[in-house]
Amino acid sequence: MEFVITVRDGLRARVRLDLPSSGKFQPWLYEYPDNADEWVQQLLTWTDEEVFTLGLGASRARKAEDGESFVIAEPYGWRLADTAEHEARLASAGPFGWHGNVYAEKEGH
């Protein structure tokens, strides 16, 4: 899934994320979503937090593809441009982010 975020001051970014059916890790989930509405609500909360913490600015690493600028989702949030800070947060958050693997916890794995 891909979506575009634009804020009033003209800052903009694209984000690519995996849908639940992919079986891939989804770092924005802080608890198991019981339905699609809860999944979307958690995604929007996570996006709002990232944008609020200057996620569309120069503090975040980006990759360019086909003339578009994408922020990069990591287990801790959107990848930081500062390599040392990125590595520190990645180590702190672990492979399943701040909230762990909510699907495995719900399924008892």
The rounded distance, in Å, linking the Cα atoms of 105 and 102 is 5
Global confidence as pTM: 0.84
How confident is the model at residue 109, as a pLDDT? Answer: 47
Domain interval for residue 87: 2-107
Confidence of residue 104 (pLDDT cuts 50, 70, 90): confident
How confident is the model at residue 24, as a pLDDT? Answer: 86
The rounded distance, in Å, linking the Cα atoms of 109 and 33 is 17
Specify the number of domains making up the chain: 1
Confidence of residue 90 (pLDDT cuts 50, 70, 90): very high
Which DSSP string corresponds to 16-38?
A: E---GGG----TT-SS--SSHHH
Confidence of residue 76 (pLDDT cuts 50, 70, 90): very high
